[in-house]
Amino acid sequence: MAFAEQYGPWALVTGASAGIGAEFARQIAARGLNVALVARRRDRLAALGKEIEARHGVRTLTIAADLTDPDFLTPLTEALGTRHIGLLVNNAGAGVTGDFLDHDLDDELRMLALNCRAPLILAHHFGSRMRDDRRGGIIMLASIAGIVPTPQFSHYSATKAWNRYLGEGLHEELARDGVDVVSLCPGLTESEFLEHADVDPSRWPSPLRASIMNAEDVVAAGLKGLGRKSQVVPGLSYRMLMRASRLAPGGLSPWLIDRVMRFALPSRGDRG
């Protein structure tokens, strides 16, 4: 079945104002789907919408929304009207590095709402219609940090493990109903996320900087895996790292990652 026939006529992409989300919108539009762009920054969405319409000849809809709001779904569905969402990309997310106990609890709860609660609500709402139609797709943005526990990124890592498990479970549940679900687990990717998470790759040694992927390749891998796999880890080096982590003795991987993170974030120091 052709991509647009399986997942059209509209895709909805959260966190679409920059980075991986914006690239998902571009590549999905290039495959012939109309795209609903969801994020907080209305001006960024409007500019992206104009770009996509001019380049790909599809329609776009911009929806400025804060997915941490308790009732975000009501205004979002009102803005969509009768548009039929055949592909959901649960991309919006946030994270911050450093010691968990040094973070503000309210900020951590907002991260939980954005990274877990919102994708759950959206997957349930749009997935129900997809199941009735016996077609459609859902992409859950997880992370390699959702495969291996990541000290100095502990809560973010936990939320991405949640996304990964939900996506892989739904992959099996919905396959019999004709709905494709994949958990996309990228490693370090060029995006605003690194800046927002207070990560500065310029401090890193060149081999670590070389592991940073671009959003185009990450998104291409995710779309290629949709309908084929339950989990996609873009990049050969990251796939090898994940295989090695499964072979390591229990506890070794988090210990090593903690040391790497403390090296990469020297301002954090070591509390011993």
Predicted confidence at residue 237, as pLDDT, reads 79
- CATH number of the CATH domain containing 254: 3.40.50.720
Q: Residue 149: what pLDDT?
A: 87
Q: Which pair of structure tokens corresponds to residue 135?
A: 């077609």
Catalytic residue (one of 7, 50, 156, 238): 156
pLDDT of the residue at 269: 42
Domain count along the chain: 1
> Is position 160 annotated as part of the catalytic site?
yes
The amino acid present at 200, given as its one-letter code, is D
- Tokens linked to 162: 């949640």
- As averages over each run of 10 residues, the pLDDT of the chain (272 residues) reads 94 96 98 97 96 98 98 98 98 91 96 98 98 98 92 94 98 98 92 64 59 92 97 88 72 64 54 34
Residue 269 lies in a domain: no
- Assigned domain for 30 exists: yes
Please report whether residue 79 resides in a domain: yes
HSE, side-chain direction, 13 A CA sphere, residue 98: 14
pLDDT at position 250: 63
Q: Other CB atoms closer than 10 Å to residue 128's CB: what's the count? A: 10
Rounded distance, CA 144 to CA 16, Å?
A: 21
Give, in degrees to the nearest 5, the angle at Cα 166 between 224 and 137.
Answer: 40
Predicted pLDDT of residue 61: 98
Q: Would you give the DSSP letter of residue 249? A: P
Residue 272, pLDDT score: 31
**How confident is the model at residue 159, as a pLDDT?**
98
Is residue 272 included in any domain, yes or no? Answer: no
pTM of the model: 0.89
pLDDT for position 220: 98
270 part of a folded domain: no
> What was the pLDDT predicted at 245?
73
Q: Whole domain around residue 212: which residue ranges? A: 3-264
Residue 271 lies in a domain: no
Catalytic site residue from 7, 50, 160, 224: 160
